[in-house]
Structure 1
Amino acid sequence: MPSAPSTPAESRVRKDLNASVADGVGASVMIGLGESYVSAFALAVGTGEVVAGLLSTVPLLAGAVLQLIGPRAVARVGSLRRWVMACAALQALAFAPLVGMAVSGWASTPLLFVVMTLYWAGGFAAGTAWNAWMDVLVPGRLRPTFFALRSRTCHVATLAALIVAGGVLQLGDQLDAPTLGFAALFAGSGLARLASVWFLGRQREVAAPARSGAPLRQTLRGPAGGLLAYMLALQFAVWLAVPYFTPFMLDHLHLSYAEFTSIAATSFFARIVALPLIGRLVRRAGARRLLLLAVAGIVPQAGLWALSGWLPYLLFLQLVGGVVWAAYELTTFLLVFQTIPHAQRVTLLTWYNLASAAAIMAGSLLGGGLLALLGTDASAYLIVFLASTGLRLVTAPILLLFKLEPVRELVPLPSRTLSIRPGTGALVRPVVAADPAP
């Protein structure tokens, strides 16, 4: 029996949703091809190991600070769509100087930091405005199903791009032209993001939602605020080590680009596969219990790198790491963002981006300082990794200081991948627009 013809309004919604998925795929390809390999590129052109690590963290904070102009800029531009497109275009254009440096085989360290700051400023500013845009654009009844599908599609696109990129770099290395391989990746990343910008333009403009007048600080005085404090403390401890896994693998374990990619891809693959299963476990066991188990798995992760550099062992470590990080992120998103009033979530996400970036940078500076003090030999890296595990253990009791509300009946929030990082699997943020609440 033929289906009833759709109304013009339904047809318009379908076009918007299809364009949104295509936009997400373009952005995901950009991440898998380009941003995830910037630290490896810095090592290839000789910036130094500590600089290569800090390149993945310091621009995060600068970008998160610059995102604060977003609400005022949207009001001045008068369009959420135009603002998101402009920010996405900034990300695409940031790859142009990276291509130039890769082709020449030489890189300016200050220019690398400026370029990545612009990249992250565009990414953070686009992300918060995009959530506000989608909150109006996507009908409430469709949000859980649509954003779950969009998220899975984007994760697969990121993983595929990550694997392709590893193959390109391996080929370039074998041809004795490694930086040309990076040039190809950065060019592909910029083009993928430009395609994403085009699909953003295919979606309808909507009126910006009214901002909540309720003070966020009152909401954060409860258990959600305590959990956020723990999340920031854990990020400080984790990112003491995370930026330095890449130089450790490439410069000390002497892994090939293919082997390096396999480690990053294994963790991200485990995350993708585990998320649906973890969602079901949350409904059975509760988010709080699962969060405690996830933290127990996260605490020893960095220190276990000190035991062996054998590739199969590291792959197994990343497989387990991907699962426990997926459980941690899903449960914390549930316990924080779904206990915050709907109208305040985009504001919370903006300030969380800033606080998170500050914690990440502070941890990376401590790790980099230890490496600068101890020297960048293999034993110094192992001390940094063990210090990260020690700090993770010290922060864990914070979870016992406050009561977390049960969230068995809540719908898990899909996530957006911002970056792939060995040691955490990925840097992600919740799609707060996915909640069907008005």
Structure 2
Amino acid sequence: MPAMVSLSPQSVVTPEEQERGLRLLVGEAALSGGAAALTTGVILTAFALHLGASNVMIGVLASVPFLAQLLQLPAIALIARWPHRKAISVVTSLVGRAMLAVMAALAFFSGTAPLLIFVAAQAILCGLGAVGSCAWNAWMRDLAPEERLGQVFALRSLWLTGVSLVLGLAAALALDLTAPRSTPRDFVFAGMFAAGCVTGLISARVVAAMPEPQMPPAPGAVPLLALLRPPLGDPNFRRLLGFIASWQFAVNLATPFFTVFIVRQLGFNVSFVLLLSVVSQIANLAALRMWGTLSDRFANKSVLAVCAPTYILAIVAMIGASQFDSRWLVKGWLVLLHVVMGGSIAGVTLTSTNIALKLSPKGSATAYVAASAIATALAAGLAPILGGLLADFFAARRFELVARWSGPSGVLSLPFVLSRWDFYFLIAGMIGLYAMHRLSLVAETGEIERRAMVGQVLGETRRTIRNISSVAGLRAATDLPANLLREGWLRVRLRRAQAAKRARTDPAVTS
């Protein structure tokens, strides 16, 4: 890598520069994935709890990444006026990830002031990340050839997932070896965020070495309201937005507080929560291919009609963890639920984006996807804030229901108790039912009945189990990168053969 790099776009990007840029793009995933694995998700919530964050503060932290996505709208105007996408990506990454160093230093302090600084640093990080990702996505779309987009980003996703799994397990081990609120744990959290900062800054340096093709001139500014008018005026798409908003609200009312529920109410260590996160990621990867196959074969709505209720039911079933007396039974129940949630959310994430694209008229996909993103950001951003504000209300309330069976041998009592976070899971389930009602009103061509879709899911699952139980099937399950490379290579050969055939048969081409 040269000592000095330019952040300016290039009028011409040679094939050699493009190939080098794509190699850096894939390799950079290990760095950005490492930074994210050590500073987001469960670790971020656990660090906030370590600093003494209240439930309201946890809700605010969970909402920041979603509300920050709204900054992508002014970012579009910024890129149109100043089309230096690499410079925007690198600068926002450097400044934003420098906030991780601030968070690392806060590990040795406690009180209200450090928590407020922590939230402010997270807001800066997420806000600049949203602006940078807008420039990044537009830049990568021009850098990677269309016929290799799937191959390049599949390899990148594998790096991201692999690094996240390894570092997730390492973080779980490090936290398991230290006592809560102890000085060694201060150093563990400080080390995680410092390492995230360093890898994030190195990632920005690698990104700066990638070439940026010059952006074509913009046709002209379009007002936001004019951009959103077509999707909001489409009755069928409005029904889809109703599903997206209610679904995101239901999910994000409960899931940001899973860590709080498992650590504070159930009394488990943060390391166990990290292990559950790893289990969920593995289930997500295992199910993603199946949902992709089924969504291509049938309608996205049909897949959603199975995945979304399954995920919501798993959230409601979290109530069961507070009903069992055996710690091992509770652990097994949580592992099972995280497997179900990881597998089902893979289908929801895949198909909810696809259905928004499918219902968009040709040439207007940007406006429709933007409307979907705004609905997601608002609903997912407001839900955890409301959840945090209501935490004290539900903490002071308790609902008990006792089922008794009387017989000659005595009386058997089965108590059912709802307290604290259990109410959130139940409310999320009720809002989720409303979201499924909104989904049923959306019209999509090719959809099939839920019963038939469940049959297809069971069929795919049986085939997967049969494959994994054999050596050949196990090899196929781990051969995804090779398959992608081979398919991409075959597509290139086919195009070359077709071009050669046209050149032989068309005299105008050879002359």
Counterparts of 2:369 and 2:131, CA distance in 1? 11
Q: 2:172–2:271: 8 Å Cα contact kept in structure 1?
A: yes
Provide closer, same or farther for how the CA distance between residues 99 and 176 of structure 1 changes in structure 2, counting only shifts above 3 A.
closer
Structure 1 residue 142, shift from structure 2 partner: 1.2
The code of the aligned residue for 1:250 comes to V
Question: Please, which moves more after superposition, 355-364 or 338-347?
Answer: 338-347
Tell me, which stretches of 5 or more residues in structure 2 are unaligned? 1-12, 323-329, 398-417, 449-511
Counterparts of 1:148 and 1:111, CA distance in 2? 37
Q: 1:22–1:196: 8 Å Cα contact kept in structure 2?
A: no
What are the within-5 Å matches in structure 2 for residues 151-166 of structure 1? 151-166=157-172
The code of the aligned residue for 2:304 comes to L
Counterparts of 1:108 and 1:355, CA distance in 2? 32
Structure 1 residue 211, shift from structure 2 partner: 6.2
- Look up the match of 2:245: 232
**For residues 239-261 of structure 1, what are the alpha-carbon distances to aligned partners after superposition, in whole Å with 9 as ceiling and x for unaligned?**
11112111111112121122111
Counterparts of 1:119 and 1:277, CA distance in 2? 35
Bigger radius of gyration, 1 or 2?
Answer: 2
Question: Please, which moves more after superposition, 167-176 or 394-403?
Answer: 167-176
Structure 1 residue 262, shift from structure 2 partner: 0.9
Provide closer, same or farther for how the CA distance between residues 350 and 218 of structure 1 changes in structure 2, counting only shifts above 3 A.
closer
**For residues 27-57 of structure 1, what are the alpha-carbon distances to aligned partners after superposition, in whole Å with 9 as ceiling and x for unaligned?**
2111111122122111112122332233121
Question: Please, which moves more after superposition, 207-216 or 140-149?
Answer: 207-216
Provide closer, same or farther for how the CA distance between residues 345 and 35 of structure 1 changes in structure 2, counting only shifts above 3 A.
farther
The code of the aligned residue for 1:289 comes to S
Residue 295 of structure 1: which of 265, 290, 308 is its match?
308
- Look up the match of 2:185: 178
SS of residue in 1 equivalent to 2:136: helix
Q: 2:359–2:444: 8 Å Cα contact kept in structure 1?
A: no
- Look up the match of 1:121: 127
What are the within-5 Å matches in structure 2 for residues 331-342 of structure 1? 331-340=351-360
- Look up the match of 2:209: 202
Q: Number of aligned pairs?
A: 401
- Look up the match of 1:329: 349
Counterparts of 1:264 and 1:337, CA distance in 2? 29
- Look up the match of 2:497: none
What are the within-5 Å matches in structure 2 for residues 337-376 of structure 1? 337-340=357-360, 345=365, 352-375=372-395
Q: 1:60–1:117: 8 Å Cα contact kept in structure 2?
A: no
Counterparts of 2:47 and 2:370, CA distance in 1? 29
| Identical-pair percentage | 24
- Look up the match of 1:415: none
Structure 1 residue 153, shift from structure 2 partner: 2.2
Provide closer, same or farther for how the CA distance between residues 110 and 376 of structure 1 changes in structure 2, counting only shifts above 3 A.
farther
TM-score, L = length of structure 1: 0.84
The code of the aligned residue for 2:444 comes to L
Counterparts of 1:404 and 1:135, CA distance in 2? 28
Q: Which has the higher contact order (CA 8 A, sep 6+)?
A: 1
Structure 1 residue 407, shift from structure 2 partner: 9.2
TM-score, L = length of structure 2: 0.72
Residue 316 of structure 1: which of 330, 336, 354 is its match?
336
Structure 1 residue 82, shift from structure 2 partner: 0.4
- Look up the match of 2:14: 9
Q: 1:54–1:243: 8 Å Cα contact kept in structure 2?
A: no
Tell me, which stretches of 5 or more residues in structure 1 are unaligned? 1-7, 409-438
**For residues 305-346 of structure 1, what are the alpha-carbon distances to aligned partners after superposition, in whole Å with 9 as ceiling and x for unaligned?**
111251111011000111111011111121113543686555
Counterparts of 1:50 and 1:227, CA distance in 2? 30
Counterparts of 1:131 and 1:343, CA distance in 2? 18
Q: 2:26–2:152: 8 Å Cα contact kept in structure 1?
A: no
- Look up the match of 1:218: 230
- Look up the match of 1:381: 421
Provide closer, same or farther for how the CA distance between residues 67 and 218 of structure 1 changes in structure 2, counting only shifts above 3 A.
closer
Q: Confirm or deny that 1:48 pairs with 2:61.
A: no
Provide closer, same or farther for how the CA distance between residues 89 and 116 of structure 1 changes in structure 2, counting only shifts above 3 A.
same
The code of the aligned residue for 1:95 comes to L
Residue 29 of structure 2: which of 24, 29, 34 is its match?
24
SS of residue in 2 equivalent to 1:255: coil
The code of the aligned residue for 2:91 comes to A
- Look up the match of 1:418: none
SS of residue in 1 equivalent to 2:319: coil
SS of residue in 2 equivalent to 1:208: coil
Provide closer, same or farther for how the CA distance between residues 156 and 351 of structure 1 changes in structure 2, counting only shifts above 3 A.
farther
The code of the aligned residue for 2:254 comes to A
Residue 150 of structure 1: which of 152, 156, 169 is its match?
156
- Look up the match of 1:259: 272
SS of residue in 2 equivalent to 1:66: helix
Counterparts of 1:400 and 1:290, CA distance in 2? 12
SS of residue in 1 equivalent to 2:101: helix
- Look up the match of 2:72: 67
